[in-house]
Structure 1
Amino acid sequence: MKVCLVSSTGGHLIELKKIIPAVKQYEFFFVTEQSEMSNELKDEFKVYYLVQQERKNIHIAKNLLINIFKSFNILIKEAPDVIISTGAGAVFPLCLFGKILGKKIIYVESFAKVNSPSLTGKLVYKFADEFYIQWESLKSFYPKAKYRGSLY
């Protein structure tokens, strides 16, 4: 089995790295946004980089198109069986294309989201095969989600 671990950089990537022990027996790779923090991953793991998708960036449409093409190419090249994501931003196209291509989608809502859902979480919840929350308070937003505690 091949696993794709996908997230934006920062706290989402820190959370995603906590999932490594659960997938280390499988072939896996990362997809994340290019940043100083994520550049360190390439020393130890196979990594693909997306363009940072910031809502305030004037190039948001251009970056979204770039990430759509990159995501599709990564999925075709690597053909993962499972995609695990902690969000946000640039990961949505990869999750959506993965679902269209028949991949299992597992999403873990951000630890930072205690009282309200994230935009990416709300979108991916509609088609995720498994959806996990790290706070029981989110159950009202995601009734079918599974609560298993926090990644921390």
Structure 2
Amino acid sequence: MLKFGIQLLLAAVILLVLIFVFLTRLLLVLRAGSTHKPGKTGPLTVFTVAGSGGHTTEILRLLGSLSQSYSPTHYIMADSDKMSEDKICSFERSRGKQSSKFQYFIHRIPRSREVRQSWSSSVLTTLRSLLYSLPLTFRLKPDLVLCNGPGTCVPVCASAVLLGILGIKKVIIIYVESICRVENLSLSGRILYHFSDYFIVQWPVLKEKYPKSVYLGRIV
């Protein structure tokens, strides 16, 4: 009995040490900046998370203001999203007329959370989405993740953070809260507020509530 108690205590100590190391590494990754300047040491590989409805429209407006240094763009969307791909292809054809240096790819992963899905079941679907996000993120190793609220961005950003925790690559995460969020953050925003490198809101009320955020006015 005593031997079992010692083994249990030892296992608990090891677990606490591992948790401490993980949290310390996470803190270092979140505090780390990026010295990479677009166009200076090469183009930036961008992950952009598209979502059904207005999310894709807003994110494309943001991408329209970026230079060709932000290329290639890898669009990640839910496999049940039937509308975003047409919008993306139309947008990229327009950009292609401006410069042949704009490159893009489309990837699909399982949806993290359906509309009106219960919180308990969304944990399992988010984990499933994460399992698809991880190999994609580790293979492509993006420099930047740009997202604005669809549930799919949570597992994608989690994969990017894990890339940094493991010491493989620091990925900059930029979260732009949707223009329709005037007084409160979306669920994705409430989660990624703590993990994003730049958290941008479009209403002064949100800036007051969330001091870490950056208020630039309406940008989409």
**Which residue is 2:30 aligned to?**
none
Structure 2: gaps of 5 or more residues: 1-43, 93-103, 164-169
Counterpart check, 1:95 vs 2:138: no
Q: Is the 8 A contact 1:3 1:23 kept in 2?
A: no
In structure 2, which of residues 168, 183, 206 is the aligned counterpart of residue 115 of structure 1?
A: 183
SS of residue matched to 1:22: coil
Higher Cα Rg, which structure: 2
Higher helix share: 2
What is the CA–CA distance in structure 2 between the aligned matches of 1:82 and 1:147, rounded to whole Å? 20
What is the CA–CA distance in structure 2 between the aligned matches of 1:90 and 1:13, rounded to whole Å? 12
Q: Is the 8 A contact 2:145 2:174 kept in 1?
A: yes
Q: Is the 8 A contact 2:173 2:196 kept in 1?
A: yes
SS of residue matched to 1:107: strand
The alignment's C-alpha RMSD in Å is 2.0
Counterpart check, 1:37 vs 2:83: yes
Higher relative contact order (CA 8 A, sep 6+): 1
Q: Is the 8 A contact 2:172 2:197 kept in 1?
A: yes
Higher strand share: 1
Q: Is the 8 A contact 2:200 2:215 kept in 1?
A: yes
Q: Cα distance, 1:61 vs. partner?
A: 5.0
Q: Cα distance, 1:91 vs. partner?
A: 1.3
- 1:3-36 deviations in whole A, cap 9, x for unaligned? 1111322111111111222334121121122322
Structure 1 window deviating more from structure 2 (110-119 vs 44-53): it is 44-53
Aligned amino acid, residue 96 of structure 1: A
Structure 1 window deviating more from structure 2 (47-56 vs 101-110): it is 47-56
What is the CA–CA distance in structure 2 between the aligned matches of 1:60 and 1:143, rounded to whole Å? 28
**Which residue is 1:136 aligned to?**
204
Aligned residues: 152
Counterpart check, 1:68 vs 2:130: yes
Q: Which runs of 4+ in 1 moved over 6 A?
A: none
Q: Is the 8 A contact 2:75 2:107 kept in 1?
A: yes
User: TM-score, normalization: structure 1?
Assistant: 0.87
Aligned amino acid, residue 105 of structure 1: I
- 1:91-146 deviations in whole A, cap 9, x for unaligned? 10111221221211100011111011111111101121101001111112211211
Q: Cα distance, 1:51 vs. partner?
A: 2.3
**Which residue is 2:116 aligned to?**
56
Q: Cα distance, 1:37 vs. partner?
A: 0.8
**Which residue is 1:20 aligned to?**
63
Structure 1: gaps of 5 or more residues: none
**Which residue is 2:8 aligned to?**
none
State the percentage of identical aligned residues.
Answer: 29
